[in-house]
């Protein structure tokens, strides 16, 4: 009941500012504990995936800007200690017309591109300030120093990075892992890669999905838990270690890899989502049900990107993909700070 009351008053900009300040004061110890845990994990080896994938208790925030460390990344980039409560973001690239219900009039919403701005403005015609900034990875520093990256690269050699279709809390992904591994092996041999690095989402590590990749001799890593403030920084480090990227599903990682000048190949493979047993009432499951009305859009985009990125894309295809993800909207720290005024 208390949470529902809070969520009701978060719908209004004036009351939200006061609630946010009160929540910060009330939960100061929890916030400090969360911050200390994130800094502890910052020093953990990139391949200690089990430790990096453990849960981090969240701080109840007025919007989703704390997910994946976006708040910390943008604050540091523009030289501020914190962002105002009216500043929020789409926490990843949404490949459909689906738009969150949680924004309110006057919010400043970060997103990637024209594609997403169109749907945000359509749903909130009464006034969102949408700022297109391209792939968020551009604003994150790598966790690895140049020396650390060079050392790992020397050990791994020519590296194929793999992003498997991933699960989330409440909603599990499903695909034939053995078939996917056969495709990975085929491509590894064909293109003469020395190492395969599999980047798993924290949820899939928690439910034991790293084992098959480890058994094949692949190295496994993760960008960390959703509440890890260094998630984007760690993900940048992982992508920078690679020479080429493959996946069996579309995802935000495509935008991030393109931003970091990595070539990508997509394998078309049958996949599906299912409710996680015992966690059917999770907010993600409820949100996924709401998003199912937009799946026709998703499958159209999926088909187009699968077609473009299945082989070597031509120049027109590359222009489309870069525009789609908003690479033309990447901003300097001065430009971004000015946009927030």
List domains and CATH numbers for the chain: 2-46+59-139+330-339 (no CATH), 146-325 (3.40.50)
Instruction: Name the average pLDDT for the chain.
Output: 89
Q: Does the structure show a pLDDT above 60 at 283?
A: no
Pull the structure tokens for residue 309: 């990125």
Q: What is the pTM of this model?
A: 0.92
Q: Does the structure show a pLDDT above 70 at 285?
A: no
**Rounded Cα gap, residues 200 and 162, in angstroms:** 8
39: β partners: none
**Rounded Cα gap, residues 165 and 173, in angstroms:** 7
Give me the pLDDT at residue 80, please: 85
Share of residues in the chain with pLDDT > 90 (%): 64
**Rounded Cα gap, residues 123 and 194, in angstroms:** 48
Give me the pLDDT at residue 41, please: 97
Judged by phi (left if over 0) then psi (alpha if -120 to 50, else beta), residue 57 lies in beta
Give me the pLDDT at residue 60, please: 64
Whether the CB-CB separation of 74 and 265 falls below 8 Å is answered with no
Whether the CB-CB separation of 185 and 212 falls below 8 Å is answered with no
Share of residues in the chain with pLDDT > 70 (%): 92
Angstrom CA distances, 60 to 32, 81, 232, stand at 13, 19, 20
């Amino acid at each position: 009941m208390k949470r529902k009351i809070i969520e009701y008053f978060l719908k209004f900009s004036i009351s939200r500012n006061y609630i946010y300040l009160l929540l910060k004061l009330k939960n100061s110890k929890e916030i400090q504990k969360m911050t200390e845990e994130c800094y502890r994990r910052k020093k953990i080896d990139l391949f200690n995936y089990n430790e990096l994938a453990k849960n981090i208790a969240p701080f109840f925030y007025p919007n989703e800007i704390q997910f994946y460390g976006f708040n910390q990344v943008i604050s540091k980039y523009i030289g501020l200690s914190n962002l105002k409560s009216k500043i929020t973001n789409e926490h990843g690239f949404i490949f459909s017309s689906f738009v969150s219900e949680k924004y309110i009039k006057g919010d400043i919403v970060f997103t990637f591109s024209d594609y997403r701005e169109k749907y945000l403005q359509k749903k909130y015609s009464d006034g969102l300030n949408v700022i297109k900034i391209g792939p968020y990875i551009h604003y994150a520093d790598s966790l690895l120093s140049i020396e650390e990256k060079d050392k790992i690269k020397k050990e791994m050699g020519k590296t194929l990075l793999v992003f498997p279709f991933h699960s989330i809390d409440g909603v599990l992904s499903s695909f034939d892992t053995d078939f996917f591994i056969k495709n990975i092996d085929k491509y590894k041999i064909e293109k003469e890669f020395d190492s395969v690095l599999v980047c798993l989402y924290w949820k899939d590590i928690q439910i034991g999905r790293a084992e098959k990749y480890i058994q094949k001799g692949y190295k496994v890593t993760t960008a960390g838990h959703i509440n890890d403030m260094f998630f984007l920084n760690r993900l940048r480090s992982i992508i920078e270690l690679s020479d080429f990227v493959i996946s069996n599903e579309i995802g935000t990682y495509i935008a991030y890899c393109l931003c970091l000048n990595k070539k990508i190949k997509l394998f078309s493979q049958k996949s599906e989502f299912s409710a996680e047993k015992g966690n059917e009432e999770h907010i993600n499951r409820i949100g996924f049900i709401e998003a199912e009305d937009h799946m026709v859009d998703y499958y159209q985009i999926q088909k187009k990107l699968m077609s473009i990125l299945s082989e070597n894309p031509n120049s027109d295809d590359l222009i489309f993909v870069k525009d789609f993800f908003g690479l033309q909207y990447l901003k300097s720290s001065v430009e971004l700070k000015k946009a927030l005024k």
